[in-house]
């Protein structure tokens, strides 16, 4: 819950805007400010104070306990110009809250946390349990000192400016260990514990069996990602309580699924009881992984431990048509999250300034689309967080289809939409795509011309607005005239045609002409050509394709 406190009418107005936007997340504290701050500090995970920072500092000082326990606090000034992350930037989430508040109120977020200020992810914000010298290692990263990454368990991490060797170390491990003076241990959720239990097995017995198995194998409970069992035991109190105490989800599988898993220690007892020869080992192994602890038994429970393979993450990111303000926030977030970025060299140059320190860039030139797709998938399979970038929308004549054709279900795939060229050009031209429309690429490098021509004819006969991608290049100068001739067989010479080059970029140019007047020689690969249908009109210099609602046809013309 976010506590909201204000002292003036202007502050109350901004406070109420937040309360209205986040009714489920916020609670307004009325009354004297000192008492309101004290109550909110005790009851809420975060506070937004519409007060001067100095006043908030004095009010908070007597209440502070420790970094891990104090709530995150954001201050918004009287004029609503700034949202200042004052306390608990990482642990309390104040840095991100300042950005959210700023976006909602139109205020500038002010974040002074050192790692955030230079674009480094905080080691305590990676979503993984951690131990050790976070402050010292973070300071070394900030100062450019060599920090080694020792990944005993491959796990997707955001970019970090690490080296092969260094006086400081970030160790990714699921093994029980004590961090050194200059070391941070990151605990990935790499362990799956399969559990079976007789009816009524006490939680203490189940939990004790699990903890003993982990301890004897030299593994840490902080890296247990989930408990797994058979559906028939989904409500077994001892198993449910053990998952709750470990703070992990309990997942269950059908007996049929478990019976299909090859295990080293099958047994007749679970087969007779629940229909599968193995519960603990099979539930832990389902989905793959290395069996670290074979089945162990207590009086009423069994368990087994598997290290699951790291699932890399592939984000296929559309960068939009070129203008920075048409790059979506989600795309920017994925670029900051990725430790590896794969893309065409000119697109990498377009967003290089958004990449965090330590991001590994794998770029190549034109014509290497399939190679880039294979590279991106291979990097994700190696356990990295990867962004594969393309212009416009990644799913429209771009990198999504070759990448997804290469990827299998051993990695996580995320699609990030972008503003594609047809939409960017349409917005410049007016509203040419106001009714049914189609996009057709005239490049026959991957598609035979006979197929392209058949599609153009179908669009012409269906009276669809047509947007041509890749209309003309030095080596392909006859396809556009041929396509226009096909359309001309079904449309009047005066049909509006829009031509947009480098939409949204500094050298953008556009013009509206007609089907008869368009000179194909004036078009190149950086151009999008949109041909209207029989209803498209030029109104005040803009292309408009009406929706064709009945009320439009029947309404009276203005006098």
Give residue 12's pLDDT: 87
Distance between CA atoms of 147 and 183, rounded to whole angstroms? 9
Closest CA to 437 of 466, 400, 399: 466
Q: Chain-wide mean pLDDT for the chain?
A: 90
Residue 527 has pLDDT above 80, yes or no: yes
Tell me which long-range contacts 37-42 makes (C-beta under 8 A, separation of at least 24).
37/5, 37/63, 38/63, 39/3, 40/3, 40/4, 40/5, 41/3, 41/71
pLDDT digits (tens, 9 = 90+) for 230-284: 999 999 999 999 999 999 999 999 999 999 999 999 999 888 888 999 999 999 9
Residue 28 and residue 5: Cα distance in Å, rounded? 6
pLDDT band at 119 (very low <50, low <70, confident <90, very high): low
The predicted model gives 521-545 an average pLDDT of 94
The pair of structure tokens assigned to 113 is 């946390």
Model pTM? 0.75
pLDDT of 436 over the 80 cut: yes
Neighbours of 495 (CB within 10 A): 22
User: How crowded is residue 558: how many other Cβ atoms within 10 Å of its Cβ?
Assistant: 4
CA–CA distances in Å: residue 468 to residues 123, 450, 464, 478, 491: 47, 16, 12, 14, 16
Q: What is the pLDDT of residues 377-415, one digit of tens each?
A: 999 998 899 999 999 999 998 899 999 999 988 899 999
Residue by residue, DSSP assigns 497-528 as EEEEESTTSTT-EEEEEETTT--GGG--TTEE
- Residue 11: pLDDT band by 50, 70, 90 thresholds? confident
- Give the integer Cα–Cα distance in Å for 327 and 420: 11
| 85 touches 69 (CB < 8 A) | no
What distance in Å separates the CA atoms of residue 485 and residue 518, rounded to the nearest whole number? 11
**How many Å apart are CA 517 and CA 246, to the nearest integer?**
72
Closest CA to 499 of 428, 443, 437: 428
pLDDT for residue 531 is more than 90: yes
Model confidence over 282-341: pLDDT tens digits? 999 998 899 999 999 999 999 999 999 888 999 999 999 989 999 999 999 899 889 999
For residue 247, count CB atoms less than 10 angstroms from its CB and return exposed for 0-12, middle for 13-18, buried for 19 or more: exposed
Residue 44 tokens, joined: 């809420």
Confidence of residue 63 (pLDDT cuts 50, 70, 90): confident
3 state SS of 232: helix
For residue 214, pLDDT over 90 is answered with yes
Please report where in the chains the tokens 């000119």 appear, as a residue.
Answer: 346
Strands 412-416 and 509-514: unpaired
For residue 20, the surrounding DSSP H or E stretch is helix 9-21
Mean pLDDT of 60-81: 85
Helix (H), strand (E), coil (C) string for 333-402: HHHHHCCEEEEEHHHHHHHHHHCCCCCEEEEECCCCHHHHHHHHHHHHHCCCEEEEEECECCCCCCCHHH
In the DSSP assignment, the letter for residue 309 is P
């Amino acid at each position: 819950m976010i506590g909201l406190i204000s002292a003036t009418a202007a502050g109350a107005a901004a406070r109420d805007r937040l309360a209205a936007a986040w009714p489920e997340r916020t609670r307004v504290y009325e009354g004297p400010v000192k008492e309101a701050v004290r109550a909110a500090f005790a009851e809420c995970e975060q506070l937004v104070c519409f007060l001067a920072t100095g006043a908030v500092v004095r009010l908070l000082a007597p209440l502070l306990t420790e970094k891990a326990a104090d709530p995150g606090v954001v201050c918004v000034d009287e004029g609503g110009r700034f949202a200042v992350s004052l306390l608990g930037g990482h642990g309390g989430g104040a840095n991100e809250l300042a950005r959210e508040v700023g976006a909602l109120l139109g205020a500038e977020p002010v974040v002074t946390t050192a790692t955030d200020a230079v674009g480094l992810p905080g080691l305590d914000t990676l979503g993984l349990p951690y131990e050790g010298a976070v402050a010292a290692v973070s300071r070394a990263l900030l100062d450019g000192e060599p920090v080694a990454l020792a990944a005993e368990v491959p796990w997707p991490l955001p970019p970090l400016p690490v080296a092969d060797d260094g006086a400081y170390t970030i160790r990714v491990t699921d093994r029980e260990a004590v961090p050194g003076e200059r070391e941070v241990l990151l605990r990935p959720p790499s362990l799956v514990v399969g559990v079976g239990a007789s009816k009524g097995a006490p939680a203490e017995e189940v939990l004790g069996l699990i903890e003993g198995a982990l301890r004897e194998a030299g593994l840490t409970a902080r890296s247990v990602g989930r408990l797994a069992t058979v559906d028939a035991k989904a409500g077994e109190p001892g198993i449910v309580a053990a998952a709750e105490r470990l703070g992990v989800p309990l997942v269950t599988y059908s007996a049929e699924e478990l019976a299909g898993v090859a295990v080293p220690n099958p047994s007749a007892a679970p087969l007779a009881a629940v229909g599968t020869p193995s519960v603990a080992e099979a539930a832990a192994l389902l989905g793959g992984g290395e069996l670290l602890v074979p089945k162990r038994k207590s009086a009423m429970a069994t368990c087994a431990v598997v290290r699951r393979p790291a699932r890399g993450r592939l984000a296929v990111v559309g960068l939009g048509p070129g203008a920075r303000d048409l790059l979506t926030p989600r795309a920017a977030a994925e670029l900051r999250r990725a430790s590896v970025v794969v893309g065409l060299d000119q697109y990498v140059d377009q967003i290089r300034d958004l990449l965090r320190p330590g991001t590994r860039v794998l770029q190549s030139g034109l014509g290497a689309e399939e190679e880039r797709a294979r590279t991106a998938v291979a990097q994700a399979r190696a356990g990295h967080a990867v962004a594969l970038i393309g212009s416009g929308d990644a799913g429209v004549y771009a990198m999504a289809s070759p990448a997804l054709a290469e990827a299998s279900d051993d990695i996580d795939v995320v699609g990030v939409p972008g503003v594609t060229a047809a939409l960017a050009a349409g917005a410049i031209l007016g509203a040419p795509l106001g009714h049914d429309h189609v996009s057709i690429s005239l490049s026959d490098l991957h598609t035979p011309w006979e197929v392209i021509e058949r599609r153009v004819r179908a669009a012409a006969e269906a009276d669809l607005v047509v947007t041509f991608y890749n209309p003309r290049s030095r080596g392909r100068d006859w396809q556009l005239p041929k396509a226009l001739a096909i359309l001309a067989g079904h449309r009047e010479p005066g049909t509006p045609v829009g031509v947009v080059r480098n939409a949204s970029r500094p050298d953008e140019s556009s013009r509206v002409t007609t089907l008869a007047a368009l000179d194909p020689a004036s078009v190149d690969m950086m151009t999008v050509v949109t041909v209207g249908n029989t209803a498209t009109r030029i109104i005040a210099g803009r292309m408009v394709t009406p929706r064709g609602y009945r009320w439009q046809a029947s309404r009276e013309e203005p006098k």
